[in-house]
């Protein structure tokens, strides 16, 4: 049996060593060598009394309100994908690891090692959940109201020659404690018409709306860092797009499985201006969030758990074999759902990038600073912003008490496949190698729980595989496809991997 790859961990001291922090940051970006000129804080919009309707704030106003609570006067700028500006993106892997020492997932807060599955389950895992709840993704409040599911209609149809039946679902959230906000969760359950008995289901987090749903008007989004290709990439033409397999839904139905679509924007908007609405606003009675309140990603993952509640009641569904999958921001939410909801059997996490499976300490592609900006901050807890602080105190990602390999570890012992595309194909922003490093670093937890970490037929490995060569031998799996920001190229690989875990016992 080969020796598992060595992982370099560090126990994170919460005390800041400011001189070391500054020197590291200066090495990271020339822009930070300049003395920052913080902009004066803009006062947040006055909040009405709780008895009135929901507070109305723009994303910029709500973002500033969080900065005021954190006493932050300036954040580090997000990296620019076109290589310009004060903080250009890094595409050079040799410069991507200024902080190679990761927090050790198998070290308790008191510094003692985790030596058994019992200690992981009863002590270390709750510690990590608390840190992620407080600092990164936010905590689900205790007063989340009940959801009552209704099948609004059932319609026959066809998908690429496969006869199907679609159940249109609405989950009505009890708003009796705050009638000013109405929240309904929309979902579709698509089943092969000839299915006999309960069948496995793949649940997809979907950013659209079901047919006939009243789509809200788009809200203006804050400007994001420039995303034009770098000059080096623009000079070299991209290779032709590979011929991908059939669409994801078609592959699932051809397997004889069901396909569930969870339309997450129906119960929590994907923008900061909507944070006092939806399920987050309902729980807060229309008031803005506290610093450790849940963000949109955690809310979408909560919605996945509520749809799972319905699937457990549907006799056509084998609720013991339900997979979850998501791409990009929905990949981030799917990873959170897998980490927090033990009923999911297996997961496919596609191109989830920063704030997802990619390490915050890996300086390649999109960065923590981008997520902390006004366009995406609503995904995370308010406390997350402090790890992008520039002034009055410089804070670097290495000061985070956790990193995303530990979110992957919270999925253990259940299996997941993580994928991404290539820089040349157009998926450099999602930092595929950073997700691979994180997955390797989660491996010791899987091995402690008696499962196989990322590896090939020879055993565990930390060697980055060639493009198109999946690592499927373990319960942690990985593949890099040659294309861009697209979940479809790797989905057939996921079906192969998931079949090991989604096949009911005879």
Give percent of the chain with pLDDT exceeding 90: 79
Task: Please say if the pLDDT value at position 334 is more than 70.
Answer: yes
The hierarchical CATH code for the domain 143-213+243-351 is: 3.40.50.1820
Task: Please say if the pLDDT value at position 25 is more than 50.
Answer: no
Residues forming beta bridges with residue 9, ordered by sequence position = 102
- Could you tell me which residues come within 8 angstroms of residue 255 by beta carbon, excluding any fewer than 6 positions away? 495, 499
CA distance 101 to 254: 44
Q: What is the 3-state secondary structure of 104-171?
A: CCCECCCCCECCCHHHHHHHHHHHHHHHHHHHHCCECCCCCCCEEEEEEEEEEEEECCEEEEEEEEEE
Q: How far is CA 454 from the centre of its chain?
A: 20
Task: Quote the tokens at residue 202.
Answer: 């793949």
What average pLDDT is seen over the chain? Answer: 88
Task: Quote the tokens at residue 74.
Answer: 């300036």
Alpha helices in 46-124 (DSSP H): 59-70, 117-119
* Per-residue model confidence (pLDDT) at position 82: 82
Q: b or e along 201-226 (b: 16 or more beta carbons within 10 Å of the residue's beta carbon)?
A: bbbbbbeeebeeeeeeeeeeebeebe
Q: How far is CA 156 from CA 191, 197, 278, in A?
A: 10, 18, 31
Q: How far is CA 294 from the centre of its chain?
A: 13
Instruction: Check residue 223 and report its DSSP letter.
Output: P
Q: What average pLDDT does range 187-201 have in this prediction?
A: 96
List the single range of 76-90, 259-273, 374-388, 422-436 with lowest mean pLDDT. 76-90
- Could you tell me which residues come within 8 angstroms of residue 249 by beta carbon, excluding any fewer than 6 positions away? 159, 190, 259
pLDDT, tens digit, 9 for 90 and up, residues 449-460: 999 999 998 899
Closest CA relative to residue 30, chosen from 77, 69, 82: 77
CA distance 68 to 65: 5
* Per-residue model confidence (pLDDT) at position 49: 41
Residues forming beta bridges with residue 389, ordered by sequence position = 75
Render 400-419 in DSSP notation, one character per residue: SS--HHHHHHTTTTS-EEEE
Task: Please say if the pLDDT value at position 244 is more than 80.
Answer: no
Instruction: Check residue 207 and report its DSSP letter.
Output: S
- Could you tell me which residues come within 8 angstroms of residue 466 by beta carbon, excluding any fewer than 6 positions away? none
3-state secondary structure of 351: coil
> Are 476 and 500 in contact, with CB atoms under 8 Å apart?
no
pLDDT, tens digit, 9 for 90 and up, residues 131-183: 999 999 999 999 999 999 999 999 999 998 899 999 999 999 999 999 999 99
CA distance 137 to 129: 10
Task: Quote the tokens at residue 376.
Answer: 């995406």
pLDDT band at 467, cuts 50/70/90?
very high
pLDDT band at 35, cuts 50/70/90?
very low
Q: Which regions of 23-111 does DSSP assign to beta strands (E)?
A: 74-75
* Per-residue model confidence (pLDDT) at position 2: 52
Q: What average pLDDT does range 329-356 have in this prediction?
A: 98
Q: Which regions of 291-352 does DSSP assign to beta strands (E)?
A: 317-327, 346-350
Name the residue with tokens 């899987």. Answer: 446
* Per-residue model confidence (pLDDT) at position 245: 77
Domain boundaries, the chain: 63-136+356-485, 143-213+243-351
* Total number of residues shown for the chain: 506
Name the residue with tokens 């700028």. Answer: 77
Task: Please say if the pLDDT value at position 1 is more than 60.
Answer: no
3-state secondary structure of 422: coil
pLDDT band at 215, cuts 50/70/90?
confident
The sign one gets for the Cα dihedral 86, 89, 92, 98 is positive
> Are 104 and 264 in contact, with CB atoms under 8 Å apart?
no
List the single range of 43-57, 113-127, 189-203, 351-365 with lowest mean pLDDT. 43-57
């Amino acid at each position: 049996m080969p020796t598992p790859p060595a992982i370099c961990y560090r126990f994170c001291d919460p005390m800041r060593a400011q001189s070391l922090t500054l020197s590291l940051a200066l090495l990271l970006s020339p822009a930070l060598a300049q003395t920052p000129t913080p902009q004066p804080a803009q006062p947040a919009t006055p909040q009405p009394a709780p008895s009135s309707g929901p507070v109305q704030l723009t994303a910029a106003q709500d973002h500033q309100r969080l900065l005021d609570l954190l006493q932050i006067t300036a954040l580090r700028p997000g990296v620019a994908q076109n290589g310009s500006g004060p903080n250009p993106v890094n595409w050079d892997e040799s410069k991507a690891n200024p902080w190679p020492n990761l927090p050790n997932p198998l070290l308790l807060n008191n510094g003692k090692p985790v030596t058994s599955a019992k200690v992981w389950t009863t002590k270390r895992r709750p510690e990590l959940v608390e840190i992620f709840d407080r600092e990164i993704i936010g905590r689900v409040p205790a007063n989340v109201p009940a959801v009552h599911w209704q099948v609004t209609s059932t319609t026959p149809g066809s998908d690429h020659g496969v006869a199907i039946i679609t159940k249109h679902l609405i989950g009505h959230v009890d708003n009796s404690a705050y009638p000013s906000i109405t929240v309904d969760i929309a979902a579709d359950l698509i089943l092969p018409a000839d299915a006999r008995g309960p069948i496995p289901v793949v649940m997809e987090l979907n950013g659209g709306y079901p047919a006939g749903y009243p789509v809200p008007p788009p809200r203006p989004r804050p400007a994001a860092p420039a995303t034009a290709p770098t000059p080096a990439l623009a000079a070299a033409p991209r290779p032709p797009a590979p011929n991908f397999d059939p669409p994801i839904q078609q592959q699932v139905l051809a397997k004889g499985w069901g396909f569930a679509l969870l339309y997450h924007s129906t119960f929590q908007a994907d923008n900061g201006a909507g944070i006092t609405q939806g399920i987050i606003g309902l729980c807060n009675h229309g008031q803005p969030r506290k610093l450790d309140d849940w963000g949109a990603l955690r809310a979408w993952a909560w919605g996945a758990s509520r749809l799972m509640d319905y699937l457990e009641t549907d006799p056509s569904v084998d609720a013991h074999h339900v997979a979850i999958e998501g791409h990009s921001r929905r990949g981030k939410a799917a990873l959170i759902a897998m980490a927090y909801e033990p009923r999911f059997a297996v997961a496919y996490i596609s191109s989830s990038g920063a704030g997802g499976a990619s390490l915050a300490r890996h300086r390649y592609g999109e960065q923590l600073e981008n997520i902390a900006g006004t366009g995406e901050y609503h995904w995370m807890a308010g406390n997350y912003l402090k790890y992008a602080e520039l002034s009055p105190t410089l804070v670097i990602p290495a000061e985070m008490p956790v990193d995303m390999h530990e979110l992957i570890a919270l999925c253990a012992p259940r299996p997941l496949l993580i994928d991404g595309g290539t820089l040349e194909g157009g998926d450099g922003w999602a930092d595929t190698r950073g997700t691979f490093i994180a997955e390797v670093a989660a491996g010791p937890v899987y091995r402690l729980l008696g499962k196989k970490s990322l590896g090939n037929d020879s055993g565990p490995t930390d060697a980055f595989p060639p493009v198109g060569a999946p690592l499927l031998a373990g319960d942690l799996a990985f593949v890099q496809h040659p294309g861009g920001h697209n979940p479809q190229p790797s989905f057939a690989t996921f079906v192969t991997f998931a079949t090991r875990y989604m096949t009911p016992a005879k």
